[in-house]
Chains A and B, each alone.
Chain A
Amino acid sequence: MERVLMKGNEALAEGAILAGCRGFFGYPITPSSEIAEYMARKMPKIGGVFVQAESELAAINMVYGGASTGARVMTASSSPGLSLKQEGISFISEAELPCLIVNVSRGGPGLGGIQPAQSDYFQATRGGGHGDYHTIVLAPSGSQEMMDFAMEAFELADKYRIPVMIMAEGTLGNIMEPILMREPVTKFSEKPWATTGCRGRKPNIVNTLHLGNEELESRNHQLFNKYQIIKENEKRADAFLVEDAEIVVVAFGIMSRIVKKAVIEARKKGVKAGLVRPVTLWPFPDEHIRTAAKNARLFLSVEISMGQMIQDIQLALAGRVPVEFYGRIGFTPNPEEILQEIMRLAEREGL
């Protein structure tokens, strides 16, 4: 198979198409727009649907409608656009509809800027809209994973009837890397719940209104039973040199690759550093964090934010190991500055 040079955004869009996605509903916004542009070019040629909606609200509700029919559908946006979509995501979560929602994130709050950030971590991992719910959140680290995770996301979405979010920093969406094209998905699961026309059967109804007290509570319990199963099955993380690590750095997305370089350099300087890279941001891989803590004197959370994932690391460690933080906003920190921070902490701790 020939390798192709793709921006993360393009690789993600192509991955979704290979996964059988035939409906894209979106409203363009930097730094995610290449996803919409790619879909606008490709969808009409493959019998798919591309709609540039009148707003983010309209786009997410088109996803709601499209997913109700059992089709593989998606939307993509960037931070402020994701905020606008939260109501729809809450509805889709309650209706248990599989779909892909992409956030190629940038700096906030407010309009913020178009520079890369990871500061939508809370929004992504805590549900984001109203009510008690979660979406599965995957954080790719490069162009190839943008494609692979888009394909994986549709599988997870169908398997658990849950919206799956891919969160990628603006840098990752825009940087070009060579990728290996994957084969298209040809086997799809049955969706007996979908609204596909009810001739010969009882109508399927997609509804998120539950007026009875007990019905409302029992719906929440049903959702949380499902979330428990997802937590048991789907936590994912990669670990690098954590076995004997005294300083464990935690970073996700493209940041994890930059941190890896810093960890390698720190090792050369005699500091026992390691890296845990959460692949799923929800469910958070807390067991991987605890495993990496075996010899750890210190954890360091590196994020392109003011510090959000650090709270999940602290929850996972339950006070057993202190957690430090290093973050930038609107810049992708380079390996040198992370190395400097690791060395500063190592010196302070006498490691």
Chain B
Amino acid sequence: MGHVSIFSGAFGSGKTEIALNYALERARQTKYNEVLLADLDTANPYFVARDARGLLGPEGDAVKVIAPVRELAQADVPNLPREIIGLLRTDNDMVLDLAGDKFGALVLGYISKYIRARTHYNMYMVINPYRPFSSNLNEVMELKRLLERAGRIEFNGIISNPNLVEETTLELIKEGHRRVVGFAKELEIPVTYLAVEDKYYQVLYPEYGNDLKSIKLFLRPDWIRGLEEGMKDGEGQG
């Protein structure tokens, strides 16, 4: 039976990278049956799953990215891939990547009845506590309320994604995760896993075990790594 996995959360919480990695993992688990990754980000066409086509490596062949058609892929109009409802009514393995905040969840609301008709579906809330509007319990509770109301599907898992991209440290992951676990307790939703970049996986594994998942970033441009702003190590003339 195909699963539907929905990734929702605040703007910039890491949904798209998490969804891409999850789709690859599903592909591996199902011995490379086709996984459909639906890019339903209607809010902002920068750094979206459709950009990852061709970047996912050999395993990516099993992941089919469903996104607005070619000439509309970069249009800032709210357009959905036209085949989305038809695909939801089949028994495919599907990963849905929504836009952030309630705007993204409204799209989910529109297709929610087709999802509820499926046997297996999971609705995940991705939280990075280092993002604005996700840093305390009140903000996260408000976000959950808005997302569930607009999306018409209740969360049954939280994905903890504490990071400051290139400036992430082990301490920062641990502290951020403690906060997410605290939110999860209050929201009475289990933490499904803690997502960390590959390089932190080994060292954190003893502490978190199978609650830990390693992810690879596909959309972050390489050139940003190790580039401080300004020319602080140059001969400043200004």
Q: Which residues of A contact B233 (CB under 8 A)?
A: 240
Chain B min CB distance to A171 (Å):
7
Interface of B is mostly: loop
- Knowing A30-B44, A239-B236, the reply to whether A334 touches B221 (Cβ < 8 A) is yes
Chain B residues, Cβ within 8 Å of A144: 229
Stretch at the interface among A19-27, A188-196, A255-263, A314-322: A255-263
Would A288 and B237 be within 8 Å (CB), given that A4-B130, A334-B221 are in contact? yes
When A4-B130, A5-B165, A30-B44 are in contact, do A260 and B235 touch as well, CB less than 8 Å? Answer: no
Are the CB atoms of A177 and B224 closer together than 8 Å? Answer: yes
List the A side residues contacting B224 at CB < 8 Å: 175, 177, 257
Which of A6-14, A94-102, A117-125, A298-306 forms part of the interface with chain B? A6-14
Quick one: closest B residue to A142, CB to CB?
Answer: B229
Q: Report whether B132 and A238 are in contact in the complex, using a CB–CB cutoff of 8 Å.
A: no
Q: CA of A243 to CA of B231 in the docked complex: distance in angstroms?
A: 14
A178 touches B237 (CB 8 A): no
Chain B residues positioned under 8 Å from A256 (CB to CB)? 231
A275 contacts B231, C-beta separation under 8 Å: yes
Contact-residue bracket for chain B: 35 or more
Q: Given the complex, which residues of A lie within 8 Å of B166, measured CB to CB?
A: 177-178
Nearest CB on B from A32, distance (A)? 11
* Cross-chain contact B76 with A237 (CB below 8 angstroms): no
The reply to whether B164 and A114 form a contact with Cβ atoms under 8 Å apart is no
* Chain A nearest Cβ from B143, distance in angstroms: 11
Contacts of A178 in B (CB 8 A): 130, 164-167
A238 contacts which chain B residues (CB < 8 A)? 230-231, 234, 236-238
Q: B110 interface residue, CB < 8 Å from A?
A: no
Bound together, the chains give a CA A320 to CA B186 distance in angstroms of: 68
Residue pair A257, B227 in contact (C-beta under 8 Å): yes
Q: Is the CB of A3 within 8 A of B130?
A: yes
Contact with B along A217-260 (1 / 0, CB 8 A): 00000000000000000011111111100000000000011101
Q: Which of A259-279 contact B (CB under 8 A)?
A: 260-261, 275, 277, 279
- A100-141 with Cβ < 8 A to chain B: 113-115, 140-141
> A34-B11, A260-B227, A334-B222 are contacts. A113–B165 as well, Cβ < 8 Å?
no
When the two chains form their complex, are residues A114 and B76 in contact, meaning their CB atoms are under 8 A apart? yes
- A289 to chain B minimum Cβ distance, whole angstroms, is 10
Which listed residue (B44, B46, B227) contacts A261, Cβ 8 A? B227
In the complex, B47 has a CB within 8 A of chain A: yes
What is the distance, in angstroms, from B54's C-beta to the closest C-beta of chain A? 15
Whether A88 is near chain B, meaning CB under 8 Å from some CB there, is no
The CA-CA distance from A143 to B74 in the complex, in Å, is 23
Residue ID in chain A nearest B133 by CB atoms = A41
Could you tell me which residues of chain B, from 126 to 183, have a CB within 8 Å of some CB in chain A? 128, 130-133, 135, 163-167
The dominant DSSP class at the A interface is mixed
With contacts A5-B128, A10-B132, A114-B74 taken as known, whether A239 is within 8 angstroms of B234 at the C-beta atoms is yes
Instruction: Tell me the total A-B contact number using a CB cutoff of 8 A.
Output: 118
* Residues from chain B with Cβ under 8 Å of A155 in the complex: none
Among A33, A114, A236, the most chain B Cβ lie within 10 Å of the Cβ of A114
A335 on the interface (CB 8 Å rule)? Answer: yes
Beta-carbon contact of B44 and A174 below 8 Å = yes
Q: Which residues of B contact A242 (CB under 8 A)?
A: 235
The answer to whether residues A334 and B231 also contact, given A5-B131, A10-B132, A41-B133 and a CB cut-off of 8 A, is no
CA distance A279 to B229 in the complex (A): 12
| Residue of B44, B130, B167, B222 contacting most chain A CB atoms (<10 Å) | B44
Q: Quick check: is B12 within 8 A (CB to CB) of the other chain?
A: yes
Segment 185-238 of B: residues with Cβ below 8 Å from A: 221-224, 227-231, 233-238
Q: How far is the CA of A236 from the CA of B75 in the complex (A)?
A: 36
Task: Tell which of A257, A258, A261, A291 touches B229, judged by Cβ atoms closer than 8 Å.
Answer: A257
B235 touches A239 (CB 8 A): yes
Given A3-B167, A7-B12, A30-B76 contact (CB < 8 Å): yes
Q: A332 interface residue, CB < 8 Å from B? A: yes
Known: A260-B231, A275-B231, A334-B221. A176 touches B237 (CB 8 A): no
5 residue pairs of the A-B complex, CB under 8 angstroms, read A5-B163, A177-B224, A240-B233, A277-B231, A291-B237
Residues of A within 8 A of B (CB): 2-7, 10, 14, 29-31, 33-34, 37-38, 41, 113-115, 140-145, 170-171, 174-178, 235-243, 256-258, 260-261, 275, 277, 279, 285, 288, 291, 332, 334-335
Which residue numbers of B lie inside 8 Å of A, CB to CB?
Answer: 11-12, 44-47, 74-76, 128, 130-133, 135, 163-167, 221-224, 227-231, 233-238
Known contacts A114-B76, A170-B46; 17 further A-B pairs (Cβ under 8 A): A2-B130, A5-B128, A5-B131, A5-B164, A10-B132, A29-B76, A34-B11, A114-B45, A145-B229, A174-B44, A178-B166, A238-B238, A239-B235, A240-B235, A243-B235, A288-B237, A291-B237
